Amino acid sequence: MKQRIAILGSTGSIGVNTLDVIALHPERFEVFALTASRNVERMHAQCCQFKPRFAVMVDAAGARDLAQRCRASGLSVEVLAGAPALSELAQHPDVDTVMAAIVGAAGLAPCLAAAHSGKRLLLANKEALVVGGTLFMDAVHTGGATLLPIDSEHSAIFQSLPPDPATWNALVDKLILTASGGPFRTRDPQTLADVTPEQACAHPNWVMGRKISVDSASMMNKALEVIEARFLFGIAPQRIEVIIHPQSVIHSMVQFVDHSVVAQLGTPDMRAPIAYGLAWPHRIRSGAAAIDFGQLTALSFESVDSALHRQRYPGLALAWRALESKAGSTAVLNAANEVAVESFLNGQLRFDHIAVVNAETMDRTHFAVPDALPALLELDLQARAVAHAVVRRLAP
């Protein structure tokens, strides 16, 4: 039987890479549903190639446009509109696997729908787990879902850990997440106020969507990944470390209690962790190039704790601050960061003010611990309002 897949966010960087891997294995996978926000042209091309049963455009005008183009191309795909269709498809009885590749907290509700209905859930959408936290993990456990990390660091850690999660806490000394340092690793921190969106999005090793590219430049991406690792693997925050590794060859490592370290290596190509998630517990071809060890001149490391790196990446420490505060704090941090990054990309906020917005929003958002999804979504909105106010105050 083929694995039937719904790809949430199919027109993005992870979505396109997922379809690339699927195209290598038509005998194993069937594309059941594709979803996107507003890129009708790319969605139409994907529908022509993969012939899904359903396609969703969140944007209503985009859905009308897509339906018309699909009819003109003689496709029998059913086109749906609006965000509720994402959750409907994520829990559709004919879906085996959901690839969560939406960017931001917008992916939380469909992730929870997939978790509650016991799907195999491939998680690229780290913000959903950062916002959902233990609520997300509880949904996975009670729903009987299989949660597989796609983020390269978490895939690396998952591949380095023994198979039984019940043993992890006793065997692991530290999880060591590698970070490339992004495009500004050697830049004078005093000049970070002048950075443009184009400079921030020019990542040295990975080609990604704009939001995660900015997060990589500020190292908020690593902050989100520390939080993601805490919830995925159940390891205490003090036992999660970050080390800069500019070559992005070691994707992350596990140090065990005997101080033995197991690492996972590969070229920086998201098709490798995607193929691992799709095929787990087996392995399939991914299309990623092999490492040419003869050409690797160095694997180098830098501490994130140097005075200069603390100035360059002031947002990183907020991960531990949020994890050590009450539940819901990680959702506040994520909301602030989404607002800050969007404001930066729109030219309304300086790059070096992203961390200021994030820290101030955490200081100023007062809330009761959210007990379920509605309260969490309300907290997300509340934190966004606080963050917008901080952005307005800092506006150039």
| Residues at the contact surface with ligand NAD, assessed by CB under 6 A | 9-15, 36-37, 39, 58, 101-103, 106, 124-127, 151, 206, 208-209, 211-212, 270
Number of chain residues interacting with Mg ion (CB under 5 A): 3
Whether the CB-CB separation of 31 and 50 falls below 8 Å is answered with yes
**Choice from 30, 65, 127, 151 touching Mg ion (CB under 5 A):** 151
What's the min distance (Å) between Cβ of 364 and ligand NAD? 25
C-alpha pair distances (Å), 272 with each of 26, 146, 267, 284, 386: 17, 19, 9, 9, 39
CA 270 to chain centre: 12
What's the min distance (Å) between Cβ of 28 and Mg ion? 25
| 102 or 323: CB nearest ligand NAD | 102
CB neighbour class for 72 (10 Å; exposed up to 12, middle 13-18, buried from 19): exposed
C-alpha pair distances (Å), 57 with each of 115, 129, 222: 22, 23, 30
What's the min distance (Å) between Cβ of 124 and ligand NAD? 3
Whether the CB-CB separation of 148 and 120 falls below 8 Å is answered with yes
| 119 or 360: CB nearest ligand NAD | 119
> Would you put residue 22 in left (φ > 0), alpha (ψ -120 to 50) or beta?
alpha
Joined tokens for residue 335: 């909301």
What's the min distance (Å) between Cβ of 39 and ligand NAD? 6
| 320 or 367: CB nearest Mg ion | 320
What is d(CA 66, CA 77) in angstroms, rounded to the nearest whole number?
Answer: 10
Strands (E), 226-365: 240-244, 250-256, 261-265, 302-303
Query: Which of ligand NAD, Mg ion, none does 101 bind, CB closer than 5 to 8 A by kind?
Result: ligand NAD
- Which residue's CB comes closest to Mg ion? 151
Q: Which part of the chain contacts Mg ion (CB under 5 A), choosing from 79-87, 148-156, 245-253, 329-337?
A: 148-156
Q: Is 269 in the site for Mg ion (CB under 5 A)?
A: no
Q: Which part of the chain contacts Mg ion (CB under 5 A), choosing from 62-70, 149-157, 188-196, 235-243?
A: 149-157
β-sheet with 54-57: strand ranges across = 78-81, 54-57, 29-36, 3-8, 97-100, 120-123, 146-149
What's the min distance (Å) between Cβ of 186 and ligand NAD? 22
- Which residue's CB comes closest to ligand NAD? 12
| 62 or 314: CB nearest ligand NAD | 62
> Would you put residue 285 in left (φ > 0), alpha (ψ -120 to 50) or beta?
beta
What's the min distance (Å) between Cβ of 313 and ligand NAD? 17
C-alpha pair distances (Å), 330 with each of 22, 354, 359: 33, 16, 12
| 30 or 153: CB nearest Mg ion | 153
| 197 or 209: CB nearest ligand NAD | 209
| 149 or 360: CB nearest ligand NAD | 149
**Dihedral sign of CA atoms 191, 193, 199, 200 in order:** positive
What's the min distance (Å) between Cβ of 11 and ligand NAD? 4
